[in-house]
């Protein structure tokens, strides 16, 4: 392992140092009560910072490098695989249903630079087979530069109504699946001094009503990555968090088969609830969750480009961020991202109010208020 010199560190952090130096002058403008000038100065500073950072960014050479991605059947994983192939990476695309139309289309469009790998992240044997598959291809040369833990499933329902089986099932996919894949591939990543990208969610930073099983799995994923990031520094490995906002309507996580799965889960919750719980909540309120899901789909962005751009930066930027919080909304203001950022300084009583007011479905919240 090699240590980074002071000069190299300063060069990589030059943009951040310059940005902080500019911010040092802000109190002067505020003291003059020149609000307009202050806002203009902040805007120019942020714009200049982003432009300069992009200009000075140093990219990692991709020749001979491979990336393993989980959850490539559709959505983010599928789009990322295509992007990385276009950049010159060899991609191992983990697919739960490798023979389905989406996986076959991915293989056909990317040619020999992409290998579809059967993968069930909740199965130890499936993950072990995937590692063997990757090692077999790497015998011809090159290295495994990155692992992207993208596979996951959404689930909705009141915390009290979610069954223990549902809690365990989604923790096994969303959380332990990430741990299982990461542990299996880490020896290869350590040798290449590469990258681990763990896709969590904005809900790994802020809890919203009727998402307990999903949110706790994402919070756990954040904690795992935070610890692993520090542990892996000694090996030269960078661990990066990708925290997408409301992109559920842009991916397939809230559509088709996934939507039917979520409906079945709601039925299971209701059937296994005690008569007392059923009476207190009411069937209409419980199943109104699906209305909230449809509502969320309608506010999602039209493109996954912001997420894919962030993931690309995490893999090819010589000095990537440790976490990428990506706003996902077709509204003027992204409520999720705004509340996450404000949550750093606001007390819980305020953030709870904002969550209840802006992140609880407008179709469900009145029903909850009526029951109080």
Active site residues: 214
How many whole angstroms separate alpha carbon 99 and alpha carbon 189?
A: 28
Phi-psi region of 121 (alpha: psi -120 to 50; beta: other; left: phi over 0): alpha
For β-strands 143-149 and 90-95, DSSP reports them as: unpaired
Q: Which residue has the tokens 């990506």?
A: 326
- Other beta carbons within 10 Å of 96: 20
- Other beta carbons within 10 Å of 292: 20
Helix/strand/coil for 36 = helix
Can you give the length of the chain in residues?
A: 372
The distance of Cα 174 from the centroid of its chain, to the nearest Å, equals: 11
How many whole angstroms separate alpha carbon 354 and alpha carbon 370?
A: 19
> How far does the chain reach from its first CA to its final CA, in angstroms?
60
Residue 195 dihedral angles phi and psi, to the nearest 5°: -130, 145
Tokens of 286: 């419980």
User: What contacts 156, CB < 8 A, 6 or more positions away?
Assistant: 210, 211, 214, 262, 265, 266, 289, 292, 293
């Amino acid at each position: 392992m090699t240590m980074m010199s002071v000069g190299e560190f300063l060069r990589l952090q030059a943009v951040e140092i310059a940005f902080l130096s500019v911010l040092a002058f802000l109190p002067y403008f505020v003291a003059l009560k020149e609000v307009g000038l202050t806002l203009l100065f902040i805007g120019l500073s942020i714009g200049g910072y982003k432009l300069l950072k992009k200009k000075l960014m140093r990219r990692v050479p991709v020749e001979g490098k491979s990336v393993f991605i989980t959850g490539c059947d559709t959505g983010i994983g599928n789009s990322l695989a295509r992007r990385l192939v276009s950049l010159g990476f060899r991609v191992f695309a983990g697919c739960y249903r490798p023979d389905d139309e989406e996986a076959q289309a991915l293989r056909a469009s990317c040619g020999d630079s992409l290998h579809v790998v059967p993968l069930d992240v909740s199965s130890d044997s499936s993950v072990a087979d995937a590692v063997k598959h990757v090692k077999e291809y790497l015998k011809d040369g090159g290295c495994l530069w990155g692992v992207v833990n993208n596979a996951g499933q959404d689930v909705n329902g009141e915390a009290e109504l979610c069954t223990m089986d549902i809690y365990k099932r989604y923790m096994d996919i969303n959380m332990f699946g990430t741990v299982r894949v990461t542990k299996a591939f880490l020896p290869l990543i350590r040798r290449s001094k590469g990258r681990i990208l763990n896709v969590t969610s904005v809900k790994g930073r802020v809890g919203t009503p009727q998402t307990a099983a999903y949110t706790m799995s994402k919070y756990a994923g954040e904690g795992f990555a935070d610890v692993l990031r520090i542990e892996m520094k000694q090996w030269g490995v960078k661990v990066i968090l990708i925290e997408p906002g409301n992109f559920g309507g842009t991916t397939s996580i809230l559509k088709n088969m996934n939507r039917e799965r979520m409906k079945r889960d709601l039925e299971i919750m209701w059937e296994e609830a005690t008569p007392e719980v059923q009476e207190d909540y009411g069937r209409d309120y419980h199943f109104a969750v699906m209305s909230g899901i449809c509502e969320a789909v309608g506010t999602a962005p039209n493109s996954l480009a912001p997420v894919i751009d962030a993931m690309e930066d995490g893999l090819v930027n010589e000095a990537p961020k440790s976490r990428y919080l990506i706003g996902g909304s077709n509204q003027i203001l992204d409520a999720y991202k705004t509340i996450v950022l404000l949550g750093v300084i606001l007390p819980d009583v305020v953030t709870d109010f904002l969550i209840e007011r802006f992140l609880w479905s407008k179709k469900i919240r009145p029903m909850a208020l009526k029951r109080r």
